[in-house]
Structure 1
Amino acid sequence: MSVPVVAEAVVVDIEGTVTPTSQVHVVLYDYARPRLGPWIREHGGDPVVAEAVARVKDEAGLGAQADTGEVVAVLHRWMDADRKATPLKTLQGLIWQDGYARGELTTGLFDDVVPALRSWRDAGLRLAVFSSGSVAAQIASFSHTTAGDLTPLFEAHFDTVNAGPKREADSYRRIGEALGVAAQRVAFCSDVPAELDAARAAGWRAVGVARPGEPCADADFGTHPVVASFDELEVSR
């Protein structure tokens, strides 16, 4: 049974929605984990890295003189807890960006994703991404997929820095304003019910994605319409 949605723009989550959760929690996390320390040491003079490290120390209650080993220990704990901490996402994004550029990383997508994205774009829909992963990481990821470079499909990328937390309605309002699209004309696809609740609170049309085998496959999506794949989602203007 298909789910019809009328919208002008479609904003998609990444993990569990367009890519398997294992793409992030196994492939990307395992790539970043051993590289965090070396990256901080080698790029400590980079203002972006320096600010991220300072924020880690502040959020973790470490002293300003804490060494790289202490900072990395915190980052590893945050990764184990899947904490969406902005400084962690910033550092991971830089490492992943480098990995993609080196050809050491490639993003795998669910089979139904690329055909749906291209179909929606061909129909005149505007596409964007909202993920807790940094914008830099998003662009790197979609630039190096098993289906090639998909960045031309997307008009904009949003993360917790330029939009805000994914479970707060104001974040979705900021995205809508940035896109210049009326709230009721924006559809959001995610596998996390709390994110869908926030999007709906902002006036968006929220659609749950419950993919078999994924962590949120059996989640309680409440009154949100739910699809198991994008093949079941019919978006029209």
Structure 2
Amino acid sequence: MTLSLIARTVVLDIEGTTGAAGYVHGTLYDYARPRLGPWIDTHADDPDVVGAVARTRDEGGLREDAGTAEVVDVLHRWMDDDVKATPLKTLQGQIWAAGYAAGELSSHFFDDVVPRLRAWHERGVRLAVFSSGSVASQVPWFRHAPAGDLTPLVTDYFDTVTAGPKREAGSYDAIAAALGDEPGRLLFLSDLPAELFAAREAGWQVVGVRRAGEPNAGADFGDVPVVADFTELDVVAAP
């Protein structure tokens, strides 16, 4: 059965919703892991790198003068524990963007996603992204998709730096304000119930995505409507 909704903007989670979590934690993490140290050392003049290193030292309980090896140990530990740490996301995003540009990486989308995104876009539904991954990693993810450059479909990108934590209602208030939309006209799609509950608290429409084989397939979505994939969801543009 198809779930039909009316929305001005669909805001998309990435990992486990539009693309496989295993691809992120496998291919992308494996690419970034050995490059973190060299990237930090060769971009020592980049303010974003300097800031990420300083935050890693602080949040990781290191000395202010801790060397690259100690910083990388913390970053690797965060990767192993799937910690959504902003400095890690910043550095990973830069490394992945360079990998995409070099043709060494491409992104992953479930087969049902791209046709639906194109259909919604053609109907006048605006598409945006809210992911714990940095905006620097979100844009190339859509630009270097196997189906081609998808960035013309997406108008806005948000991460935990620009919007706030994904499990707090205030973050969705911030996104609504940035988009200039009333919360009731916004639809958030995610595989994580806690994120959906936060968005709903902010007045958004929400739909859970329970994909077979993904880490959150067995999660409790409560009374949130759930689809198995995007073919079960039809979105019409709100006036």
Q: Smaller-chain TM-score range? A: over 0.9
2:186 maps to 1:186? yes
- Aligned positions of 1:208-227 closer than 5 A: 208-227=208-227
For the residue of structure 2 that corresponds to 1:64, the secondary structure is coil
Q: What's 1:44 paired with?
A: 44
For the residue of structure 1 that corresponds to 2:98, the secondary structure is helix
Q: Deviations over 1:76-102 (max 9, x none)?
A: 000011111000000000000000000
Q: What's 2:132 paired with?
A: 132
Q: What's 1:29 paired with?
A: 29
Instruction: Give the superposed CA RMSD.
Output: 0.6
Q: Matched residues in 1 for 2:53 and 2:21: separation? A: 26
Q: Deviations over 1:94-117 (max 9, x none)?
A: 000000000000112100100000
Q: Matched residues in 2 for 1:126 and 1:143: separation? A: 17
- Give the TM-score normalised by structure 1: 0.99
Q: Matched residues in 2 for 1:3 and 1:170: separation? A: 27
Q: Matched residues in 1 for 2:152 and 2:235: separation? A: 20
Letter aligned with residue 26 of structure 1: G
Q: Matched residues in 1 for 2:135 and 2:105: separation? A: 17
Runs of at least 4 residues of structure 1 off by over 4 A?
none
Q: Matched residues in 2 for 1:108 and 1:168: separation? A: 27
For the residue of structure 2 that corresponds to 1:44, the secondary structure is coil
Letter aligned with residue 103 of structure 2: G
- The offset of 1:218, in angstroms, is 1.3
For the residue of structure 2 that corresponds to 1:156, the secondary structure is strand
Q: Matched residues in 1 for 2:127 and 2:11: separation? A: 6
- The offset of 1:2, in angstroms, is 1.3
For the residue of structure 2 that corresponds to 1:155, the secondary structure is strand
Q: What's 2:116 paired with?
A: 116
Q: What's 1:18 paired with?
A: 18
- The offset of 1:74, in angstroms, is 0.2
Q: Matched residues in 2 for 1:38 and 1:81: separation? A: 22
Count of residues paired in the alignment: 237
For the residue of structure 2 that corresponds to 1:152, the secondary structure is helix
For the residue of structure 2 that corresponds to 1:4, the secondary structure is strand
Q: Matched residues in 2 for 1:23 and 1:175: separation? A: 27
Letter aligned with residue 82 of structure 1: D
Q: Matched residues in 2 for 1:159 and 1:108: separation? A: 19
- Aligned positions of 1:93-112 closer than 5 A: 93-112=93-112
Q: Matched residues in 1 for 2:48 and 2:215: separation? A: 33
Q: What's 2:83 paired with?
A: 83
Q: What's 1:203 paired with?
A: 203
Letter aligned with residue 192 of structure 2: V
Q: Matched residues in 1 for 2:184 and 2:96: separation? A: 35
- The offset of 1:40, in angstroms, is 0.5
- The offset of 1:61, in angstroms, is 1.4
- Give the TM-score normalised by structure 2: 0.98
Q: Deviations over 1:90-146 (max 9, x none)?
A: 000000000000000011210010000011011110100000000010001111010
Q: Deviations over 1:45-79 (max 9, x none)?
A: 11110010000001111111101000000000000
Percent of matched pairs sharing the same residue: 63
Letter aligned with residue 117 of structure 1: L
Q: What's 2:165 paired with?
A: 165
- The offset of 1:152, in angstroms, is 0.6
For the residue of structure 1 that corresponds to 2:58, the secondary structure is helix
Q: Matched residues in 1 for 2:108 and 2:88: separation? A: 22
Q: Matched residues in 2 for 1:129 and 1:46: separation? A: 26
**Structure 1 residue runs without a partner (length 5+):** none
